[in-house]
Structures are given as structure tokens and as C-alpha cells.
Structure 1
Amino acid sequence: MHKVRKGQVDPTCYDEQRQSGMLPIVSPDNAYGGRGAKLTAIVVDGDRAWFDEAALHGRTALEQAVRWVKSPAEVPNGRTVNPVWVYIRPARGGGFQYYGLVAVSMVIDEQNGVGWKSLAEHVNQLSKCMNGHVDLQALDERGRAALLSALRQYPEVLENSPDAVKEALGLPVSAPTSEE
């Protein structure tokens, strides 16, 4: 077992599955969670983004390295880090799709070991994600590009995703079909 220092990304949460070509966020068996649906998170930190299921429990390496305070004003030298809740479910016609995407914010100052986040907002946005909402307003352009890069690791899943997801990411959407 390797040791990860506080504030560093632990690649073991996704590398083994990625190397084998498996989607790192959907178990090949449907015994747990039902019908293959899965909730995960992508952490967006500046122009970097990575899958990190620990974010669902507030246990990312970044979050473990800080003491939480009650106000963002108490983190004057912090930087914004954005967990993005990602809801994945089976797509019509097979495979999987990114069905819900919702970005939230937290402010972290690793040097001073403090951070702020609104747990209530994180929970409410997580619920919206599970209902298929798409809201990436918390991300700037650089963050959206990083998120898109992470999602593109699985192009077939992105291709199967609803138009609302593609539109929020700045991708071309499907042309409407006319039925006469």
C-alpha cells in the first residue's frame, strides 16, 4: 500500500480501472446501487480535473488537509476548488451516460490549513444532480475545459449523454428529428 501526502491526489481510486479500460465510476456488476446507476465526483482545481469518489464523503486529499471554518472571509488566501457531482446511468441502446452534472464550490488555503464550504449547498446540489439537473455555473471557462477533459476519458459515455449535458459543456448537440 502506498502513502499519499495530504493535499495530493490519490490516483489509485481510478488508475487500476482506467488501465483495464473500465469506466472507473460504474461497477461492472449491478448488485449494489441498482440498475447500474452510479454517483461520483470530479474535482476541478484550476485547470486540472480528476475523478475522486472520496469527494462524495468530503474525504478528498484536499479536504482532509484543512480545518473547516464558518465563513469564506476566514479564508482570505484561499483558492476555489469545485467538486462536480456526476450522476451516471444506463443509456438507451446500451452503455452509460452522464445524466446529471452539478458543480459546487469550496475555498481552500492549504498553506494555512483552513477551508470553507457550504455543506447544505453541497447536499442540495447533489440531490439535484441525482434528478438529472445540469448546472455548471460555479465553473469558469478554465474549469469547464478541465471538466470536459476528464469526461472525455470515456468518449462513448459522453456521446450517449443528453443534449443538456453536451450544451453545458459547449459541445454540439444532436439535431432534432422531425417526424411527419
Structure 2
Amino acid sequence: MDNPNQPTEKKKLSLNVVSNKPHRGFGAGSIDLSQVACVIIDEGVAYIDVGAMHAKSKIEKGIRFSPDKANVPNGRPAWIVWVAVDRNESGSYYAGAASCEMLIDTEARRGWKVLPEHVNRLDASIKRKYMLDNIGPAEKEALRKLLVEHNEEWWNNSPETLKDLLA
């Protein structure tokens, strides 16, 4: 029973694009994934895909991945961008963003990605770093558009470093 004289517990910042519940899968407790969104950039379009957290995004389903690029000669480039959100005195903001390249050949049901790089870049995003060195101007524009449209206030509160990277 709630005591009306007790202070109410402050709500935890929730990034609903992933989940409003703390991550409880393998490795829970070692890193907090509840404030991370998964953005896919495919053919010049950026969109949020929660399934990417467990390699089950729309473009990854049914694809057999190899760490060898030569196995995917007809693959189209695509990226997962791990986007972390944090809060400061100004409010919530995009605190980290790191992109990971993939090749996807939907017809052949083959793909290329380097899983350790995905893990390392996810970790970098969680540690409030921006690593967007492997995406081009069209992908940067698509990511910026998505971040602004998703929450303009978060975008406005974000550091100039991120805005400059996506300019």
C-alpha cells in the first residue's frame, strides 16, 4: 500500500525506442542497454529497429553472416548505429552514437559483419562516444533527419560534436 506521505520515486529516464524495462539478457548488469536505440541505415533511409540489439533486425533476418567480405560480393552496404541517450540539467540528449558497417545480399541470403566491431562500437556509444567515421554524407543526413524527427528537444540538447559530425 502506498503511503501518501512518502516521496514518490523519481521516474527513470526511458528510451522507449528500445524498451522501458532494463535489459535482462546475457551480460545484464555489466552494461546497461536500456538507454540505447538501434538505428538501421539501409539504402539512404534511417529507421529504428529494436531487433538489431539481438541481430534480428528486419534486414538481418534470414541472413547468414560471415566475417569474410569476399563471401558477399553482391552485398549492399548497410549500417547499425547504436545511439545512447542520457540526461543532464538541460534535459535528455543523444549522448553517444557509433556506426557499424554490414553488407547484405538479400537474394543470396548472405551478409558480412564483424561481430567484435559491433560489440566494441556498442560499448563506445554507451560510454558517450561518437564514432561515425564509416558512414558517408547520405547516411549522415539520414541519421540526422531521424534523430531530429524522433525527438527535436533531444537533438537541440545534444553536444555540438554530434551536430558537427552529422552536418
* CA-CA distance at 1:70 after TM superposition: 3.3
Following TM superposition, where does structure 1 have runs of at least 4 consecutive aligned residues deviating by more than 3 angstroms? none
Of 52, 56, 61, the residue aligned with 1:55 is 52
Question: What TM-score, normalized to structure 2?
Answer: 0.79
Task: Report the Cα distance in structure 2 between the residues aligned to 1:155 and 1:26, rounded to whole angstroms.
Answer: 18
| Deviation for aligned residue 1:83 | 0.5
Cα offset, 1:137, TM superposition: 1.1
Say how many residue pairs are matched: 146
> Any idea what the Cα deviations from partners look like across 1:103-143, whole Å, max 9, x if unmatched?
11011100111001000000011111111111111111111
CA distance in 2, matches of 1:69, 1:25: 28
Corresponding position of 1:39: 36
Instruction: Mark the runs of 5 or more structure 1 residues left unpaired by the alignment.
Output: 1-21, 171-180
Is 1:155 the counterpart of 2:136? The answer is no
Pairwise CA RMSD: 2.4
- How far off is 1:26 after superposition? 6.8
Give CA-to-partner distance per residue, 1:136-175, whole Å, 9 cap, x none.
Answer: 11111111111111101111110011121111111xxxxx
Give the structure-1-normalised TM-score: 0.74
1:111 to 100, 107, 115: 107
State how far apart, in whole Å, the 1-side matches of 2:67 and 2:96 are: 29
Counterpart of 1:75? 72
Cα distance in 2 for partners of 1:40, 1:162 equals: 18
Structure 2 stretches lacking a partner, 5+ long: 1-13, 24-31
Per-residue Cα deviation, 1:78-119 (whole angstroms, up to 9, x for no partner): 01110001000113233x100001111011100111001000
SS of aligned partner of 1:59: coil
Name the CA shift for 1:70/1:32 in 2 (closer, same or farther; >3 Å): closer
Find the counterpart in structure 1 of residue 140 from structure 2. 144
| Deviation of 1:23 (Å) | 6.3
Contact 1:108 1:114 in 2 (8 A): yes
